[in-house]
Amino acid sequence: MSRKVFYFTLILIISSAAFLMYISRRAPEEELEPSIPEREIEEETEEPAEEEMDEEILAMMKLISLRAEEGGLPEVPLVVGHSEKTDVEREYGSPDSQDDTEEGEYAVYLSEHITVGYEDALVTDLRSYDPDLARITYAHITEILGEAPKTSTYTDDENSHLILTYPVSEIYSLKWILDQNSGDPKNPSADHISIVMSEEHPTAVMLKRIHAMSLKEKIGQMVFAGISGITADDSALALITEEKVGGIIFNSPNLKDPEQTRTYVNTLKAANEMNEIPLFFGIDQEGGRVSKIPGDLMDIPSSRKVGEVDDPEFSYELGQALGEIVKAYGFNINFAPVLDINSNPQNPVIGDRSFGDNALRVSSHGIPLMKGLQDAHVIPTIKHFPGHGDTDVDSHLALPVIEKSREDLAALELIPFRNAIEAGADMVMIAHLLLPEIDDKFPSSLSETVIHDMLRAELQYKGVVITDDLMMKAIDANYGLDEAAVLSLKAGSDIVMIAGGYEKVRDVLTALLDAAVSGEIPEERINQSVRRILLLKDKYEITDAPVEEIQTERLNELLEALLNQYMN
Residue type, 2: S
Type and span of the H or E element at 384: strand 379-385
Q: What is the dihedral of CA 433, 438, 441, 443, to 10 degrees?
A: -20
Active site residue 476: no
- CB of 224 within 8 A of CB of 282? yes
Burial classification of residue 483, based on how many CB atoms lie within 10 Å of its CB (0-12 exposed, 13-18 middle, 19 or more buried) = middle
Q: Distance between CA atoms of 389 and 360, rounded to whole angstroms?
A: 14
Type and span of the H or E element at 506: helix 502-518
Say which of 82, 113, 377, 396 is annotated catalytic: 396
Q: Distance between CA atoms of 335 and 535, rounded to whole angstroms?
A: 18
Beta strands in 487-563 (DSSP E): 495-498
The 3 state secondary structure assigned to 273-329 is: HHCCCCCEEEECEEECCEECCCCCCCCCCCHHHHHHHCCHHHHHHHHHHHHHHHHHC
Distances (CA, A) of 7 to 21, 207, 222: 21, 108, 121
Strand pairing partners for 224? 247, 497
Say which of 125, 130, 311, 468 is annotated catalytic: 468
Q: What is the dihedral of CA 454, 457, 459, 462, to 10 degrees?
A: 120
Active site residue 396: yes
Q: Which of 502, 498, 493, 449 is nearest to 472 (CA)?
A: 498
Distances (CA, A) of 384 to 303, 349, 387, 417: 14, 11, 5, 9
Say if residue 384 is preceded by a cis peptide, omega within 30 of 0: yes
Strand pairing partners for 193? 128, 176
- CB of 190 within 8 A of CB of 463? no
Residues assigned a catalytic role:
396, 468
